Structure 1
Amino acid sequence: MDAEPAAAADEIPVVGLRERRRLETQRELADAALDLFEQHGVHGTTVDDIARRAGTSPRTFFRYFPTKEAAVFASADDSARVVHDAISAVRGGASIIQGIEMSWMRLLERFDTHPGEHDRALRVRRLVGAEPSLLALALRNELEQVDQLTDAAVDAAGADADVIAARAAISTLALVLRLTIDEWMRRAELNVPASAREIYIEIRRGVATVARDLENEPPLRP
């Protein structure tokens, strides 16, 4: 794991009018949920409140989100696309590490180049730290991604699949990504400019060093 991740391709998806409107409505609902959760807490906010703030109906809300908590994670579409891209890469012959990292690097580079998203990311992070239901959902989303990627890796490997090794590798990469976001947030709170992509590479190198140490050291016995 000590090689630097491959650079992401510069891909700009073409978005049609209907899709653009869908994304706008989704974002309006997400922003309304974020504002209300900050003001009244998750338990003090209803789906009706969110829909009213966004100028739409509860019925429309449920077209986009299964629960009020899910509305805060408007970037779930990005995460779903990342998982889809990684699965496609693995099924196309890439290693599981290559497939995941090519997708995640695109996500981090998009984040770095869109500073307008940084304030919202900080607000969501503060809410997740303060609201147990949001933290539980964030962790559940990560676990679901690990499950999906593990299934794809096992399917691609066929009869030679090592399920435990695949899950360990994917869980480790998920941890690196989470630590990257945590560190970026910590620096942002201190007003220290930082690149999420560069932080990922830095943490990845540290994890690779630990992995080599684990490989060279036998497990300790009690």
Structure 2
Amino acid sequence: MGIRDERKAATLRGIRAAALDLLEEQGFDAVTAGRIARRVGISERTIFRYVPSLEAAMLPAEGEFSQAIMACEIPSGADGAGVLRVLLGACREILLHEVGGNEFRRVSRLMAVEPRLLLVATRQEQELVAAVTEYLVGRGLLPRMEALLVGETLATAWRVTWQCFGAEERAGRPADPLELFDRVVASLAALVGEPSE
């Protein structure tokens, strides 16, 4: 990574950190472009070169989540289950990266006390489901219904992992988000296993 790329990455981290700091310190309404810009030492317009919206600054992993899903190498001829397995693997990798950055815990705590942040996450989830569906249909990988089910399943696995993690954190119990994600995926598999005759 060159000096310019390092500066860009540092500015993006600064924008995200400032948004979360403001959210923690003063609440949802305090997260404005002006306040973020002052904390980071950049212009308000510069913020939107790094993030598409203030909501994206508050929930940093969501945009990366969508990009990583779209970048997955899906083997040709994969059926819906195969596509879902590949995309769930990508979700796990994103989670691993996010937990390493420690924003997962911070955002999870904030969602528990700031209901509007949960609404932002829900809206972003809907956008993700739509994007995944269109991507899978557009590439001819799956018919629309299966593609929609894959998108909804990804969003559900992600959301339930966050919810379980938040519940454990609030209860003061140590929790490993990766282990929770693996349990969510295993539970999904058990729930939709072959019906008995």
TM-score surpassing 0.5?
A: yes
What is the TM-score of this pair, normalised by structure 2? Answer: 0.82
Aligned alpha-carbon RMSD (Å)? 2.6
Rounded to whole Å, the distance in 2 between the matches of 1:107 and 1:200 is 11
Tell me the equivalent position of 1:151.
Answer: 134
Are 2:94 and 1:107 aligned?
yes
Rounded to whole Å, the distance in 1 between the matches of 2:21 and 2:74 is 39
Distance 1:93 1:149, change over 3 A: farther
Once the 2 structures are TM-superposed, how far is the Cα of residue 170 of structure 1 from its aligned partner? Answer: 2.7
Distance 1:46 1:181, change over 3 A: closer
Instruction: Output aligned runs, 1:38-77, within 5 Å.
Output: 38-77=24-63
The structure whose RCO (Cα within 8 Å, separation 6+) is larger is 1
- Give, as a single letter, the amino acid of the residue that structure 1 aligns with 2:96: E
Identity level (%): 29
- Give, as a single letter, the amino acid of the residue that structure 2 aligns with 1:56: I
Tell me the equivalent position of 2:10.
Answer: 24
Rounded to whole Å, the distance in 2 between the matches of 1:196 and 1:16 is 32
Distance 1:187 1:16, change over 3 A: farther
Are 2:147 and 1:166 aligned?
yes
Rounded to whole Å, the distance in 2 between the matches of 1:60 and 1:167 is 35
Once the 2 structures are TM-superposed, how far is the Cα of residue 24 of structure 1 from its aligned partner? Answer: 0.9
Distance 1:109 1:93, change over 3 A: farther
Distance 1:107 1:185, change over 3 A: same
List per-residue Cα deviations over 1:12-65 (Å, max 9, x = no partner): xxx333222212101111111211222222223432111101111112112223
- Asked if the contact 2:165/2:175 (under 8 Å) is kept, the reply is yes
- Give, as a single letter, the amino acid of the residue that structure 2 aligns with 1:54: V
Match of 1:33 among 10, 16, 19: 19
What is the TM-score of this pair, normalised by structure 1? Answer: 0.74
- Asked if the contact 1:91/1:156 (under 8 Å) is kept, the reply is no
Instruction: Output aligned runs, 1:133-144, within 5 Å.
Output: 133-144=116-127
Once the 2 structures are TM-superposed, how far is the Cα of residue 124 of structure 1 from its aligned partner? Answer: 1.9
Question: Aligned pair count?
Answer: 194
List per-residue Cα deviations over 1:115-166 (Å, max 9, x = no partner): xx33x323322333443442222112111221222222223446xx432232
- Asked if the contact 1:85/1:103 (under 8 Å) is kept, the reply is no
Once the 2 structures are TM-superposed, how far is the Cα of residue 100 of structure 1 from its aligned partner? Answer: 0.5
Structure 2: unaligned runs, 5 residues or longer: none
Rounded to whole Å, the distance in 2 between the matches of 1:147 and 1:124 is 23
Structure 1: unaligned runs, 5 residues or longer: 1-14, 218-222
Rounded to whole Å, the distance in 2 between the matches of 1:134 and 1:79 is 17
- Give, as a single letter, the amino acid of the residue that structure 2 aligns with 1:102: G
Which of structures 1 and 2 has the bigger CA Rg?
1
Once the 2 structures are TM-superposed, how far is the Cα of residue 92 of structure 1 from its aligned partner? Answer: 5.0
Match of 1:180 among 146, 149, 161: 161
